[in-house]
Amino acid sequence: MIYTVTFNPALDYVVRLPAFEPGAVNRTESEDIQLGGKGINVSCVLGQLGFKSVALGFVAGFTGEAVEAGLARRGVNADFIRLPEGLTRINVKIKASVETEINGQGPHIPAEALEELFQKLDRLAAGDVLVLAGSIPASLPSDIYQRILERLAPKGVLCAVDATGELLVKVLPYKPFLIKPNNHELGEIFGRTLSTDEEIVECARLLQQKGARNVLVSMAGDGALLLDEGGNVHRLEAFKGKVKNSVGAGDSMVAGFVAGWLEKGDYAWALRLGSACGSATAFSDTLATRTEIETLLNR
């Protein structure tokens, strides 16, 4: 089974307007409410690809109930821990000439709720897949990803981690199955600006030497590069299309990669499906659908 963890889910209030003027009354052309949170995005795209998953994490208040109901409508099995106080956050996404985001803080997660999550994770077994994605709330310890991988490493659970900086580096000794920095995040880890494929491969190998099995580097309009656990470099140019939405593209890539690898056990195919999923989301107003993904693959 595939499990995703979203420590800080959200409802994304997405508004579109021709121009955004601070300090003035702005009127929208359209608005929508979408589910937010990187692990939730991964679960939703996995569902489009025909893979069941269980969404784990924390929710609170009436907004948390809305997140659970939204996942149920999408056929995603949610097993969230309900917090007694606070509200699952609402993020405002303003799409005008440029994108502006106002992200909520989210509820406080007490120690006993975190321990309840650990107990759920302890049930995972060899062959299960766990996706950890995104930043963590201030109420959680900064080494939470590291603690989870340390706990699961002896079990043979395949862990995919999409995080940045120290949050990512600290999990490497536990040999995660997949890490997915973008090229800028990869360079920041080593204090460098990466301009060529050779430089990206060099830094990806360093992360592999520290423990990562597969390093998937997304490069927006320049495509993606994968250094697989056999030392092979796979390079894929970007799919062509008009970018409408940057939110969830990286999460969609992770979902596609995991699904592709589980489907065929082939890293080249996993990279291609992951790239198609990421691009399909970027070319859409919402997360990619199966039809949109297949359209790109069939080009």
Please say if the pLDDT value at position 246 is more than 80. Answer: no
**Active-site residue, 162 included:** no
Angle, vertex CA 284, rays to CA 200 and CA 40, nearest 5: 75
Q: What is the mean pLDDT of residues 210-227?
A: 93
Q: Which domains does the chain have, with CATH numbers?
A: 2-7+38-85+106-297 (3.40.1190.20)
C-alpha 215/C-alpha 230 separation (Å) is 11
58-75 pLDDT, tens digit per residue, is 999 999 999 999 999 999
C-alpha 70/C-alpha 11 separation (Å) is 10
Task: Write down the pLDDT at residue 139.
Answer: 86
Among 12, 128, 162, 251, the active-site one is 251
Confidence of residue 294 (pLDDT cuts 50, 70, 90): very high
247-275 pLDDT, tens digit per residue, is 788 999 999 999 999 999 999 999 999 99
Contact 266, 232 (CB under 8 A): no
| DSSP, res 285 | S
C-alpha 228/C-alpha 214 separation (Å) is 5
Cα torsion through 50, 56, 60, 64, rounded to 10: 0
Task: Write down the pLDDT at residue 51.
Answer: 96
Task: Write down the pLDDT at residue 98.
Answer: 85
User: b or e along 109-131 (b: 16 or more beta carbons within 10 Å of the residue's beta carbon)?
Assistant: beeebbeebeeebeebeeebbbb
Q: What is the pTM of this model?
A: 0.92
Tokens for 299, please give them. Answer: 């080009």
If you average pLDDT over every residue of the chain, what do you get? 93
| DSSP, res 126 | T
Please say if the pLDDT value at position 241 is more than 90. Answer: no
Contact 246, 224 (CB under 8 A): no
Please say if the pLDDT value at position 161 is more than 80. Answer: yes
Task: Write down the pLDDT at residue 33.
Answer: 92
Residue 111 C-alpha from the chain's centroid: 24
Q: What is the mean pLDDT of residues 164-169?
A: 88
